[in-house]
Structure 1
């Protein structure tokens, strides 16, 4: 019994430790021909850490985002350093669903056995077209996919966690509501996590996965990912 209690406590400590994450913060609706801003932030969705405190960022380091347009074409977005975030902008030139992704390995200390990897995705809907809202348009090694532009309050939400292109079953997503409410939801056999939102507004989802590797200078990949979606 003591061993079981310790295991449960350790489980929740590990989950709680992932509260700080890298997010792509942006408006989930855009307009064709108008500049759209995307922020890279670290911390909590409503509490950004100063860049100097970011464990994964070095002064002067160039962070590049990938913009995937509705037609599947890609473009690199260069970020500029602000006080507590990195900023990138783009101008949508077509209607449909755009994805902006961050995917990078952090610097690993010499002889460290774990390689940390950051994944973050933002989905922006421009106009009423749904073209571009496809799993195949996102190439991150770990990401959460929302198949709708927005969801309804008190109606079930389904989110799918993908790891290396395949659904990740029996994994946990952390859901953060606009009210600050936090809930852990487990994916089913098909990698789908379901829950019913009680508030309107922007929600965030986070997940992390570890993978043993061979033939590299390290033994394990530790990947983390985040995304946001809207509830009306």
Structure 2
């Protein structure tokens, strides 16, 4: 990602940082009866690393995505390895809101005190129906959810941050805009984060949480999550 000029403004900042994360990249709109492509990528939203450089992926590792249909039914999507992404496809058979999600514990080295977990979600609208537009259909332990199918530029956006199925208050979400700026926003008591977008296009949201654990051969879980949403 291009270097960013550091600017500090009220309620947000733009910083020169790396936004490396695991993303599910896909068109946010699909067509019933037509094959829909989904990619798992690693890097920054506009710059993907070669798969051989992914720290969390081992050659031959099986990565399965969960497809949640508008009616709440689920099926597994098997990915195949490409040069800089993992590829999966599905054919929508209903109108409504589909969710494709990934939750994966990474390989932990012997003696390591932290277990890392990757979470990523993509939401796909098929037709005009709103059925399936609910976070409860997604089982990820860490999740940023867009409660609208799309948002309007210059109008307030609300995102809900969930940890283990419950809203996560006073937590920070990183927003990456199409222009390249990065804004950190804090959730309120209900786990809702709000901001007003300045550009149209696809936005990305990232969040992370650490949790102390007992009774394991490691000391903490470190979870990260990503998703994308559209501003028109």
Where on the TM-score scale, by shorter chain, does this alignment land: which range? over 0.9
Q: Distance in 2 between matches of 1:135 and 1:44?
A: 25
| CA displacement 1:103-146 (0-9 Å, x = unmatched) | 01000011110000000000000000000011110100000011
Alignment-derived partner of residue 148 in structure 2: 148
Q: Distance in 1 between matches of 2:219 and 2:35?
A: 43
Query: Paired residues, what number?
Result: 218
- Per-residue deviation at 1:179? 0.7
More helix by share: 1
- The answer as to 2:38 corresponding to 1:38 is yes
- Per-residue deviation at 1:193? 0.5
Alignment-derived partner of residue 65 in structure 1: 65
* Cα 1:18/1:218, change in 2 over 3 Å: farther
- The answer as to 2:173 corresponding to 1:173 is yes
Alignment-derived partner of residue 5 in structure 1: none
Q: Distance in 1 between matches of 2:142 and 2:16?
A: 19
Q: Distance in 2 between matches of 1:19 and 1:203?
A: 13
- The answer as to 2:101 corresponding to 1:109 is no
| CA displacement 1:175-217 (0-9 Å, x = unmatched) | 0001111111111111111000000000000000000011111
Q: Distance in 2 between matches of 1:218 and 1:133?
A: 36
Q: Distance in 2 between matches of 1:82 and 1:105?
A: 21
Q: Distance in 2 between matches of 1:135 and 1:228?
A: 14
Contact kept? 2:18, 2:44, Cα under 8 Å: no
Q: Distance in 1 between matches of 2:153 and 2:21?
A: 26
Alignment-derived partner of residue 123 in structure 1: 123
Alignment-derived partner of residue 99 in structure 1: 99
Please, what TM-score do these two structures have when normalized by structure 1?
0.92
Please, what TM-score do these two structures have when normalized by structure 2?
0.92
Runs of 4+ residues deviating >6 angstroms: 15-18
1:1-232 to 2 correspondences below 5 Å: 19-232=19-232
CA RMSD of aligned residues (A): 1.2
Structure 1: runs of 5+ lacking an equivalent:
1-14
- Per-residue deviation at 1:18? 6.8
Q: Distance in 1 between matches of 2:161 and 2:18?
A: 16
